[in-house]
A and B are shown apart, each in its own frame.
Chain A
Amino acid sequence: MRRRFGAVQAVDGVDLELQAGEIHALVGENGAGKSTLAAIAYGAVRADEGTVEAVGVVGLVHQHFKLIDRLRVWENVLLNREPRKGWTIDVPAARARVRELGERYGLAVDPDALVETLPVGIKQRVELLRELDREPSVLLLDEPTASLAPAEIASFFTTVQGLAARGTAVMVVTHKLAEVIAYSQAVTVMRHGRVVARHRTADTSAEEIAREMVGGELPPLAERAATAPRPLLELHALSAQSGGSLLAEATFSVGAGEIVGVAGVEGNGQSALVDAIAGLAPFTGELSFDGDALRADETPAARLARGIRVIPQDRLHEALVLDWTVRDNVALGRQRSLPLAKFDAAAREVIERFDVRPPNPDAIVGALSGGNQQKIVVGRTLLSAPRLLIAYQPTRGIDIGAAALVQSRLIEARNAGVGVLLISFELDEIFACADRVLVIAGGRFVGAFDRAGIDRGRIGALMAGQR
């Protein structure tokens, strides 16, 4: 199968076979073509070349849920397949069907609940139920555990194993090797749109798969220098709310010259924390920077002026103007302090120091790859003399090479005395970079660990809400 998206050959000559009753893992780093392949197999995207053959119905559970927040659970599950009574919808029958499906697969949900009120793990159940209602013989799951806590992940895979036991062919698209080893029977590794390896899971190891995913060894990160952090940002009983994200009574500090990592599952208050520090959301409690108490009604511009910088989690909507040039995007955030005449020099500095490709200040940012876009965001932030840097998912959706460069630069900034608050949903990233690790769950900080005392199991339990 082949499929191009513009100048990128997303899927190149791929052959894939899924067996009934088996869990087949499709792995690869970001941009390897896994999601595209899944979409082709489902039928949402057409391949340029090649064929898809399936016996029975193919279901796909998307990475980003395709649920309609303001509708009810039964409306989402049975959308376009509603049971009818004359001209209207037979609502009691719809509710009954949802309950019946829930019982059969162990995925109970309240049929009348509004989807927007549900926590992420339950939302995923609704998404699953929607596909299961179609009684698929093949089920594709795209990054299904991205938003789940470790305990929820175990329960999710129990469900999946149950499905496989009934004869469904299951394919899980993922980059989490621990889950691949634990739950799958077959593995296919993709890189740059091609299949580079196939294994029976029992015959291989996480290290081997990782090497195949990257095509070699992982690039090393920058050296950590010895530093003597003194408190720079201090939170005391800080509570905040931003959109749907809630933070309660956070108390910790970030020192100049250290990286504090915040480990947690997506949707547990991280956005409220970031927005409160950035000046985008009001807060109660105490927040002080370099000894000065920060007022809750201070503007983002005032926070920027103090040297507080944020690398937002959504570069496409929150950090870049896609139609503008690299030059104009580099100036974004510094436009009040950087004279127009210096825009060009600043852009060239970022391009050079952060290996942005193509190295052209006039290039339109929307045409660049995700990795290069993120390098621009990180580069312009680090070169703007930050004193405190909040990095929120700084390597989301970018290739391993760019991710390693970003992480190295964060460590270098830490070495030079910048205080870094690293918020990430990838535990490996936090463990690689942080001096201290804090754990956030349900909007509260529930644990703190020094680098030397990192306990993966304990952290996982805390993230899931266990004490």
Chain B
Amino acid sequence: MNGSLAAIVGLLALTLVKATPLIYAALGGVLSERSGVVNIGLEGILIAGAFTGVVVSGATGSPLLGALAGVIAGALLAALLAYAATRLAVDQIVAGTGLNIAALAAAAFGLVLVYHQPGASREVPALGQRGEDVLIVLALVAAVALHVVLARTPWGLRVRACGEDPGAAESAGIDALRTRFTAVVIGGAIAALGGVFLSLAELDLYSDGMTAGRGFIALAAVIFGRWTPLGATGAAIFFGFFAALQFSLQRAGVPSEVMQALPYLAALIALAGFAGRVRAPKSDGVPYVRP
């Protein structure tokens, strides 16, 4: 009896660990999309956060500085996307795809540059178990905080207005382009914490491909969660649960590829089932050009 209780608790704990990077990325995605900018580049931001965190931690010996650097890197990358989306009014999905490709390449390039070896970095000072726990709790706190900000603060109202109808927002005196820019950058900073979690909390190094498409699963979580912070967090935990199941089911003989595919298949099914019933912010993904 004790054994199975411990197993369940262990599973729940593992679920939270697996879900945390997804939660950060999804929250960043929600904030960005509520302001009207689709951020496909979440994967790239995770990579940036993970890689920069490791490099700075290794260079300074301080994992906290590494985490901070990771957040800044994510914000900078998001700023690039935000600039392209607002001032240049390009297609946000295409730009986000380019961001992912560039970020992955930059990280791989950086690995060779800094560590003189491809594939993985050396081990660096990490945040440890304590840091991991703090980040998990922080993720849940951030979800609630973002909910409050969007629903109850003036800035949150402005963000939502820009996501629905930037033209109407501008006629009320809001600078839609600047609001979108800020939302995307802050979203990028939040998402980058997910990358930091992967490299500095769960582990203590960066390896090529360690983000493993989590940025894309986070996008699915945003849709599942109906573009709300709490909903996306719930969806992220749901996906984290599947990832946590992986190990147990693998022991039961299910091929590892099937397990790895589960979150993606789940997202596909939800996409087919949910699409048409959920509504994105009306101007999500539509570049706003001042007449």
With a CB–CB cut-off of 8 A, which chain A residues contact B291?
Answer: 45
* B252-291 interface code vs A (CB 8 A; 1 in, 0 out): 0000000000000000000000000000011000000001
Majority DSSP secondary structure for residues of A touching B:
loop
Q: What is the distance, in angstroms, from B178's C-beta to the closest C-beta of chain A?
A: 13
Q: A75-B157, A88-B152, A88-B153 are in contact. Are A69 and B171 (CB under 8 A)?
A: no
Q: What is the distance, in angstroms, from B114's C-beta to the closest C-beta of chain A?
A: 41
With a CB–CB cut-off of 8 A, which chain A residues contact B172?
Answer: 66, 79-80, 130
Q: Could you tell me the distance between the alpha carbons of A250 and B132 in the complex, rounded to whole angstroms?
A: 66
Contacting A68 at CB < 8 Å: which of B148, B152, B164, B173? B164
Contacting A89 at CB < 8 Å: which of B153, B164, B171? B153
Within 8 A of A (CB), among B220-273: none
B171 and A44 within 8 A (CB) = yes
* A72-89 interface code vs B (CB 8 A; 1 in, 0 out): 000100011010100111
Does B138 sit within 8 A of A, measured CB to CB? no
Which of under 10, 10 to 19, 20 to 34, or 35 or more describes the interface residues of A? 10 to 19
A68 and B158 within 8 A (CB) = no
Q: Could you tell me the distance between the alpha carbons of A10 and B167 in the complex, rounded to whole angstroms?
A: 21
Contacting B154 at CB < 8 Å: which of A45, A66, A69, A84? A84
In this complex, what residue of A is CB-closest to B172? A79
Q: A71-B164, A88-B153, A89-B157 are in contact. Are A79 and B282 (CB under 8 A)?
A: no
Q: Could you tell me the distance between the alpha carbons of A75 and B153 in the complex, rounded to whole angstroms?
A: 11
Q: Could you tell me the distance between the alpha carbons of A79 and B148 in the complex, rounded to whole angstroms?
A: 18
A69 and B161 within 8 A (CB) = no
Q: Could you tell me the distance between the alpha carbons of A226 and B167 in the complex, rounded to whole angstroms?
A: 50
Within 8 A of B (CB), among A37-88: 44-45, 62, 66-71, 75, 79-80, 82, 84, 87-88
Does B165 sit within 8 A of A, measured CB to CB? yes
With a CB–CB cut-off of 8 A, which chain A residues contact B168?
Answer: 66-68
Q: Could you tell me the distance between the alpha carbons of A62 and B281 in the complex, rounded to whole angstroms?
A: 23
With a CB–CB cut-off of 8 A, which chain A residues contact B171?
Answer: 44, 62, 66
* B182-219 interface code vs A (CB 8 A; 1 in, 0 out): 00000000000000000000000000000000000000
Does B140 sit within 8 A of A, measured CB to CB? no
A87 and B153 within 8 A (CB) = yes
Q: What is the distance, in angstroms, from A444's C-beta to the closest C-beta of chain B?
A: 29
In this complex, what residue of B is CB-closest to A39? B291
Q: Could you tell me the distance between the alpha carbons of A84 and B158 in the complex, rounded to whole angstroms?
A: 14
In this complex, what residue of A is CB-closest to B160? A71
With a CB–CB cut-off of 8 A, which chain A residues contact B157?
Answer: 71, 75, 79, 82, 89
Does B174 sit within 8 A of A, measured CB to CB? yes
With a CB–CB cut-off of 8 A, which chain B residues contact A71?
Answer: 157, 160-161, 164
Contacting A82 at CB < 8 Å: which of B148, B154, B281, B282? B154
With a CB–CB cut-off of 8 A, which chain A residues contact B165?
Answer: 66-69
Q: A68-B164, A68-B169 are in contact. Are A80 and B152 (CB under 8 A)?
A: no
Q: Could you tell me the distance between the alpha carbons of A285 and B174 in the complex, rounded to whole angstroms?
A: 48
Q: Could you tell me the distance between the alpha carbons of A113 and B4 in the complex, rounded to whole angstroms?
A: 51
Within 8 A of A (CB), among B130-163: 148, 152-154, 157-158, 160-161
With a CB–CB cut-off of 8 A, which chain B residues contact A62?
Answer: 171
B174 and A79 within 8 A (CB) = yes
Q: Could you tell me the distance between the alpha carbons of A62 and B171 in the complex, rounded to whole angstroms?
A: 10
Which among B172, B174, B281, B291 has the highest number of chain A CB atoms within 10 Å?
B172
B164 and A70 within 8 A (CB) = yes
* A266-280 interface code vs B (CB 8 A; 1 in, 0 out): 000000000000000
Q: Could you tell me the distance between the alpha carbons of A399 and B74 in the complex, rounded to whole angstroms?
A: 53
Q: What is the distance, in angstroms, from A349's C-beta to the closest C-beta of chain B?
A: 36
A80 and B160 within 8 A (CB) = no
B153 and A80 within 8 A (CB) = no
* A84-96 interface code vs B (CB 8 A; 1 in, 0 out): 1001110000000
A66 and B161 within 8 A (CB) = no
Q: Could you tell me the distance between the alpha carbons of A138 and B173 in the complex, rounded to whole angstroms?
A: 18
Q: Could you tell me the distance between the alpha carbons of A44 and B291 in the complex, rounded to whole angstroms?
A: 10
A68 and B153 within 8 A (CB) = no
Which among B154, B165, B281, B291 has the highest number of chain A CB atoms within 10 Å?
B154
Across the A-B interface, give the 6 residue pairs with the lowest CB-CB distance, nearest first.
A66-B168, A66-B171, A79-B172, A88-B152, A68-B164, A80-B172
13 contacts between A and B (CB under 8 A): A45-B291, A66-B172, A67-B168, A70-B282, A71-B157, A71-B160, A79-B172, A79-B174, A80-B173, A88-B148, A89-B153, A89-B154, A89-B157
B-binding residues in A (CB < 8 A): 44-45, 62, 66-71, 75, 79-80, 82, 84, 87-89, 130
